[in-house]
Structure 1
């Protein structure tokens, strides 16, 4: 009898592991099954709403705005830093993979929902906000090189806004939604469009450094690479050019563009597409080697603190800071879009607001697939 019981336990365990693995292979996602063809399509958008917190925290927009307005007065540069933080959060959008699921199946057999929860980490879910832990075994998104120069004040602003919201509406508003609102506020405060932020995102239960690679634009990305990356997020080439307009404010460290100044693509010469006056000025701040790693230069040399459409005019004048910025004017697929947005600020504002809404709604977590953190840098379980 004991042997038979052992046999049944082994059989059940084998069946559970097999079912878990097969479920991942066929794409068992929230709400039902999905075949391989569907997984290759553009990312799914869930329904968000402007009045999501109408009953639970009706003044949440004003609460967040009170924090962002105060910080913008004290430090205007914090605005661009927070907008960038939002981009880095949203662009890490990972689809489920068999290996991801298989790695967790041996430990998670009690609920298939938990397997889905572990294997799905996507979109604007505040996963970027999780702080590294001393001696921790899990390396989080903030540990990745591409994220290490994200400004500390951006994280602080979100935490301050979250603390205020928690004091008025405890356990109701997610960090993911607060980050989206804060980014919107800073766009408006810098002179940009005042667009509505749809809400209803849940915070991710995981933050994994290994999921960042290949999901963020790089300073030297080609237009081909950018178009493919944005298309993988369900964003069009028009969205790529409009959202790149966020570089109308903010600064970049020398290491992101120094190769353009001295050794463009291994030629030993500066980038021929850069204005000679800009080249001279940038070389004074950013020497070939031995420079100060903290030195930064404005993306928009004309109006670095004003959210306007001057960014596009700079590209036409060969004054784009990053190679990936200037490439948008050089490539025939995007040049006309750059020129159109550079001529019409209203058109740029409309396109940017539409792009932010689309980016902010890709594969967001809802319901039981996420959490509502009390402190944005820590998971509830912590």
Structure 2
């Protein structure tokens, strides 16, 4: 039997508390996203992603919008787990990227591939593909003159990718305001954040098939959506002829500044020049209309709110710590 003094007992107890606190802090840290997650394990990671985004933007400024959209489409399906990057293995069970909401419109995969290859060469099996998407989206906002923001990291990559999940979770461009509110609410985002994130349509382009229903055969009583400003409708018809089967026909979502993260998108919606039904529907309720008008008049205010909403969106359903997940060596293939 070992006998210890009261002083030894106090010291032992104090030391045990220190060890317990350190352990609990480690567990808490591992289970949460945090800014600077790779500061020691792969300090070059964020800089590599930023450089690849910049190089891609110089070659094609539309890729910035593609990378922002990729982050959104990743997070809304199974959480922000990089599952949108996985290639289809079995044609009878296609992956997310081959679902109608993503194929052929989603782009920027090669930017993620290049960043991942460089990061793997510098720090093997350390940085997740999910985090690379989140970094690339932030850098895309910034390079299009949006407001930069810190990205909490520590996501793990998922092992499942199903086209059916994308169809079930991604709100289509034909959504009305109630459907959008519910879709975003299902992911823990408020109606206000839905309106704020809709502002991502200030950059990028759309295939004609995503909005041609508003131009031709709108419903049984009218061939054209009556909420669409006539001159804008004529411009869209010229770019997207009725009956065309050309999959390469695209138009900018914000014709005035398609490569700048500004509030022209909201000004267009106010003027009945929202490209999608899901854009123009924001004017159909008093709260969402008020937000659209406010955002249209306050560039810095919207940019701040957009940055905060992107950070919140980037935490949807993340796999962290000991949760099921992995660090994919190749973003297109499960380890």
- What TM-score range do you get, normalising by the shorter chain? 0.7 to 0.9
Could you list the per-position Cα deviations for residues 232-278 of structure 1 after superposition, in whole angstroms to 9, with x for gaps in the alignment? Answer: 10000110000000000000111111111122244332111111111
Task: Report the CA distance between 1:127 and its aligned residue.
Answer: 0.5
Task: Report the CA distance between 1:300 and its aligned residue.
Answer: 0.6
Instruction: Give 2:126's aligned residue.
Output: 172
Does the 8 Å CA contact 2:76/2:316 hold for their aligned counterparts? no
Aligned counterpart for 1:255 among listed residues 192, 195, 209: 209
Instruction: Give 1:302's aligned residue.
Output: 256
Instruction: Give 1:370's aligned residue.
Output: 325
Instruction: Give 1:102's aligned residue.
Output: none
Task: Report the CA distance between 1:138 and its aligned residue.
Answer: 3.8
Instruction: Give 1:47's aligned residue.
Output: 32
Aligned counterpart for 2:136 among listed residues 182, 187, 190: 182
Instruction: Give 2:200's aligned residue.
Output: 246
Does the 8 Å CA contact 1:85/1:150 hold for their aligned counterparts? no
CA 1:372–1:266: 2 relative to 1, 3 Å? farther
Does the 8 Å CA contact 1:254/1:296 hold for their aligned counterparts? yes
Instruction: Give 2:282's aligned residue.
Output: 328
Aligned counterpart for 1:67 among listed residues 39, 52, 58: 52
Does the 8 Å CA contact 2:52/2:111 hold for their aligned counterparts? yes
Task: Report the CA distance between 1:125 and its aligned residue.
Answer: 0.2
Runs of 4+ in 1 over 6 A off after TM superposition: none
Find out whether 1:312 has 2:266 as its counterpart. yes
| TM-score normalized by the length of structure 2 | 0.88
Measure, in 2, the Cα distance between the counterparts of 1:136 and 1:214.
Answer: 19
Find out whether 1:150 has 2:112 as its counterpart. no
Unaligned runs of 5+ in 2: 1-30
Instruction: Give 1:80's aligned residue.
Output: 65
Could you list the per-position Cα deviations for residues 311-334 of structure 1 after superposition, in whole angstroms to 9, with x for gaps in the alignment? Answer: 100111111111110111233230
Kindly report the root-mean-square deviation, in angstroms, between the aligned alpha carbons of the 2 structures. 1.3
Task: Report the CA distance between 1:291 and its aligned residue.
Answer: 4.5
Deviates more, 1:288-297 or 1:165-174: 288-297
Find out whether 1:231 has 2:185 as its counterpart. yes
Task: Kindly tell me the number of residue pairs found equivalent between the two proteins.
Answer: 304
| TM-score normalized by the length of structure 1 | 0.77
Task: Report the CA distance between 1:136 and its aligned residue.
Answer: 5.2
Measure, in 1, the Cα distance between the counterparts of 2:267 and 2:213.
Answer: 23
